[in-house]
Amino acid sequence: MTYEVYTDNITMQLVTEACKMLELEQSVVLGLFGEYFFEFCKRAGYDHMLRTLGGNLFEFMENLDALHGYLSLSYKEMNAPSFRVEKNNDGTLLLHYYSDRRGLGHIVPGIIGAVAKDFFNSKIKMEIVNQIEEVERMGKKEHVVFLITQSPVFLDKGFEPVYPDSLCIDLKTFCGAFPFHIVFDEELQVRQSGVTVQRIVPGLQTRCGQLDRYFTIQHPQVTFNICSIRKFINSHFVLRTRRDRMPMAWKERPMLALRGQMLWMPPLRCMLYLASPLLRSLQELEEHCMHLSDIAPHDATRDLILLNQQRLAEMELSNQLERKKEELHQLSKHLEEEKKKTENLLYAMLPKHVANQLKEGKRVEAGEFEECTILFSDVVTFTNICSECEPIQIVSMLNSMYLRFDRLTTVHSVYKVETIGDAYMVVGGVPIPMSSHTERVANFALGMIIAAKEVTNPVTGGPIQIRVGLHSGPVLAGVVGEKMPRYCLFGDTVNTASRMESHGLPDKIHLSPSVYHALRNKGYQMEERGEIEVKGKGRMRTYFLQRNLKVTESEIMGLLVRNADNERKMNHSTRDSTQRPQKRESFPLVPMKYGDSPTESKPPTQSTEPQHSTITGKPRDSESYGSLYSEDEPSELTKDSTPNKTENKKPSVHERSRHVHTRFCLLF
């Protein structure tokens, strides 16, 4: 932030780390920073101001305190150092550096060296000749004296001014023209003062009071005596009125600060303090119950107040813009997070490339996939469970089961089509074609059987039982609906896979002949069930999948097992029905490796095969392609599904009815 005040600890930490990385001394790094800071100030708009501070290096350094005093009008929290410069007879200079910020003195050679080279075309050499304790100054902890040697040396041109024989101005006019001046002697006794400062501090009218009784020195931080003042006479002095000496009317107001120059008058042995009120804005002018008319017309304080008022308004606008920028950055970051959440939710409903097309407003064409493997599963006696349990128990059971199944879809890179009630449907090879779709779905089915043992049946208290059915073949796939679009599969393959599930047995994976032939000779243990009557399909020879001989259960579940003992322990815990299975959610998910890894960017086959976008040959009606479920199965929507009339009779394997075709779980 441009106008933010940062502690010196941050600066010194940065310097320390820079020294370690660059392998340089701290004085070198600070000196380089001083050179950069000078260039930064020029780029920030202070180039013209810096060039007009003085005609040579001595005058430039002599006016540094005045520059800091001007900048303090805008930067109230600025803790600037103070400088005092002396000339030696040999042309060298002594620069006194005062600061209560320790450790930053080595910045000065970098700044002064850059100024001499840029503004005055000279090279200088600066060395520390002394570091002394404070005597005259109060509060400033560090006092460093630099010896400056210039090359070439610039000498004075020998200008001699001409003075009049007598002062051609009367006292009344002088006190009115300089309303804030004060003349005091070596004992700090006030000898003369301006008209306005007399009105604000009535004690000055007696012309016999001590100046230090009515004022304190704020800058430079020196003791209030004539010796210290003369030593720092080139600095600008800020005097602040003392509250205990102000009239009652001023007790509640801010104390007035005067800023000006001390001029020593040797013939009179007195000091002239030619000052102006130190006011930064119109608001401060009002707080002191003063007006612009109280300031002399020739005094630049009037213009400074008005100009600084405009600058303060610009600073406030700049601060507001920076705050708004930061707020916009945070909002943008928050919006990006919310966008990712929305995209993740969308990608959970639709394939990624399909979702991206819909986001771009493009039409998603339906495509035909020549080969894929579809899986259906459901919970055994789900109707009875629904009739005997509270709704929240059903929801909890299904959620626990689906979370485990969803985890397995990531392990084996299969696509979850949807869930309807207790039914779970996935497909391999769609929407991203892959040659290992049958193995992926088969391993996923094995994982489902294992995962189901970890889900508790709320009626019996034991593990739930599921039926799983698989079938391979061609399908049509496309986006259906507008309000809540879904990526759906159509075709006789879907019907056959559903039949494999409905004609299966508890805790068994029922395979069609096409799946059996695809898995044969690939390391899977299968057994023949024999010929059975499949509703709508006639007699079919089907099979049961028992296990994968080439991989462990941990690999199927996507678990990272570090040694054989853990593997045996994990397999034992999942097979032992007397023990509660170990929770697998605490283990890291490890995707199973296959010969072909699907990529998100790989387009579906309908973009490369002409017949996928244009269907030719015999028209395909709903009977031949079917839907997610076969149309010849009775829908429970036609039944009386009220709680009082629900049948508790366990359905047979061949006559088991389907659940309600809805995207919500119907609780009986």
Q: Tell me what pLDDT residue 566 has.
A: 53
State the pLDDT at residue 568. 53
Tell me which residues of the chain have a pLDDT lower than 50: 564, 573-582, 599-668
Q: How far is CA 30 from CA 20, 25, 26, 306, 495, in A?
A: 13, 9, 6, 37, 79
- The pLDDT, as a whole number, for residue 3 is 64
3-state secondary structure of 1: coil
Predicted model pTM: 0.46
Tokens of 421: 């009630």
- State residue 614's pLDDT score: 31
What's the pLDDT score for residue 137? 54
Q: How far is CA 248 from CA 198, 242, 253, in A?
A: 15, 12, 10
pLDDT at 587: 63
pLDDT at 254: 84
Q: How far is CA 509 from the centre of its chain?
A: 49
Beta-bridge mates of residue 239: 217, 258
Residue 251 in contact with residue 228, Cβ under 8 Å?
no
Q: Quick one: how far is CA 645 from the chain centroid?
A: 58
Helix (H) or strand (E) holding 477: strand 466-480
Q: In whole angstroms, what is the distance from residue 55 CA to residue 42 CA?
A: 18
User: How many Cα atoms are found within 13 Å in the side-chain-facing hemisphere of 68?
Assistant: 20
pLDDT of residue 157: 56
